[in-house]
Amino acid sequence: MLNPDAHLALNIFSAGGGSAFGGDNPDKAATREGFGKGVVEAGKIDERVVVLTADLIESTNVGAFQKEFPDRFIEMGVAEQNLATVASGMAAYGKIPFFTSFATFNPGRNWEQIRTTIAINNVHAICCGMHAGLLTGQDGATHQALEDIAMMRALPNMIVISACDAEEARKATLAAAKVGKPVYMRFAREKMPTMTTAETPFEIGKANVLWKAKVESGKSKVAVFATGPVLHNVLLAAKQLEEEGVATSVTNVHTIKPLDEETILREAAIADTVVTVEEHQVHGGLGGAIAELLSQKAPTPLTIIGVQDRFGQSGEARELYEEYGLGVSHIVATIKKAMSRGTK
C-alpha cells in the first residue's frame, strides 16, 4: 500500500493497463520541466544564481530563466568544455552556476573539465544533464545517456541526484542551489506521471519510502530501490505483486550520492532479497552503489534491473521500456525470479 507519510499524488495508479504511458490521462510532465521552474525560483531567491547553456535553450528548459534574468544567462554555444570551465570560474568567484546541456555531452563530453576545475576545487557548480536515460524520442544511442551516473558518482565531492518526477526535480533544483558543493542532476525528456506533491518531503541524501506492504510478520519479501521516472512502473509492479500476495517495499532513492545508508540498510534488513531499478546501465549506477553498501555492511541477495550492457536505440517510450526490461510486466517477472534465488 502507499506509504501515508509520502504524500504521493492521487493519480499515481491512474495509468491503467500496467503501464506508465496511457490510461486515464494522469498529470504528466518531464523532469526537465521541473528544473525549468525550479531554477527560476532559485534565481528569485538568490541573485547569485546564473544559468549557462550550450545552444540548447529550449531542450534544457532554461528559456523562462533567460526571460526573467537576461543579465544572469549565458549562451556558450556548442562548446561544452568551455561551459564547464566558465561555470567553475563563476563558482570560484561566488556565483551559483547551473550549466546545462544534453547529458551525453554534459558530463559526457566535458567530464575532464568537470573533474579538474569543479570537483577537485570543490566549488558550488551544478551540472545539469538533460535527456538522460532511454526516453529521448527518436534521437537514438548518441543522445541516450545511460552511463552518466557511473561517471559522476565516481568523482570525489560530487553529489548525484536523479529526480523521479517534475515536482521532485523542482525541489532538487532549489536544494542544489543551497548545498554549497558540486552537484550533478540528471533530467529526462519524456513527460511522465507526477508521483509526488508539494508536500512530499525532499532532502538531499534522504531517500523516501513510498510503498510499504502490510505484513503480519513485519517482514517484506522484497525491498525495491528505484530512481528516476521509471519509479512509476516500479510502483505499478508493487501494486500488482501485493494483489498476488507478494509483500514489497519501494524506496525512491533520488540521491544516489550520498546514499541514505540508514534507510537502505533498514529496508534491506527486513526483506528476504533486494532489487534495484534504474534507467541506466547496470554497471556503476544505483544498483552498483547499493551493492557496494550491502556487501560491506549487510550482505544481501541483490538483483539489478537496468540496461544490460547495451546502448540505446530509437523508439517510442513504451517500446523502449519493453525492449530494455523496464516495463511493469518485466519488473514483476524479475522480482519473482529474484525471490526464487533463495533468502538470506
Summarize pLDDT for 161-185 with one digit per residue, the tens. 999 999 999 999 999 999 999 999 9
List the one residue out of 166, 159, 180 whose CA is nearest residue 61.
Answer: 166
Give the C-alpha distances (Å, rounded to integers) separating 201 from 205, 206, 287: 12, 9, 23
Q: Which amino acid is at 44?
A: K
**pLDDT tens per residue across span 87-137:** 999 999 999 999 999 999 999 999 999 999 999 999 999 999 999 999 998
The predicted pLDDT at position 139 comes to: 86
The predicted pLDDT at position 341 comes to: 76
Per-residue DSSP letter, 273: E
> Which residues are identified as catalytic?
80
Bridge partner list, 197: none
Q: Strand (E) positions, the chain?
A: 28-29, 49-53, 73-75, 96-102, 126-130, 159-162, 183-186, 192-193, 208-212, 220-226, 248-252, 255-257, 271-281, 302-307
3-state secondary structure of 28: strand
- Average pLDDT over all residues of the chain: 91
**pLDDT tens per residue across span 203-238:** 999 999 999 876 655 556 899 999 999 999 999 999
Could you tell me which residues come within 8 angstroms of residue 9 by beta carbon, excluding any fewer than 6 positions away?
27, 193, 194, 195, 196, 197
How large is the average pLDDT for residues 239-252?
A: 93
Q: Strand (E) positions, 39-169?
A: 49-53, 73-75, 96-102, 126-130, 159-162
The separation between CA 34 and the C-alpha centre of its own chain, rounded to angstroms, equals 13
Hey, what domains does the chain have and what are their CATH numbers? 10-26+201-340 (3.40.50.920), 28-193 (3.40.50.970)
How large is the average pLDDT for residues 311-335?
A: 95
- Residues 65, 43: contact at Cβ < 8 Å? yes
- Residues 13, 242: contact at Cβ < 8 Å? no
